[in-house]
Amino acid sequence: MLFMIEFKINHEQKMETFGAFSGMTADDDAAVEQAHGFKQIGRWHDIANGRGVAIVEAESAEAVHGFLLMWAGGCNIMNITPVLDDSGARAVISGYLASQ
């Protein structure tokens, strides 16, 4: 399953959270993914406003929530939404239209 995660960095911990994030390497990201059982598809940042969005693939909501606990002290998770890629969306829409 794909999940879209919208987050906002807590203003009071902004520089501390930036420091923790900027100190991470691609190997650190890979280790976190493996430890929590998900794959990050992409992450986009609005640094000036301290917010962003990530798309992750995981077998369960528990895997996503386990990962998010890492950042709970420095970020507010605004939304976690199951989403579809283009092929999944086309399949759902086509199936719906065919049933009408």
Query: Can you list the domains of the chain with their CATH numbers?
Result: 2-98 (3.30.70.1060)
Res 71: pLDDT: 87
Residue-wise DSSP of 18-68: HHHHHT--HHHHHHHHHHHTEEEEEEEEEGGGTEEEEEEEES-HHHHHHHH
The pLDDT assigned to 27 comes to: 95
Indicate the pTM of the whole model.
Answer: 0.86
Sort 41 into a burial class: Cβ within 10 Å, 0-12 / 13-18 / 19+.
Answer: middle
Give, in order, the Cα–Cα distances in Å from 44 to each of 52, 59, 64.
6, 22, 17
- 8-34 pLDDT, tens per residue? 999 899 999 999 999 999 999 999 899
What residues in the chain have per-residue pLDDT under 50? Answer: none
* pLDDT of amino acid 67: 87
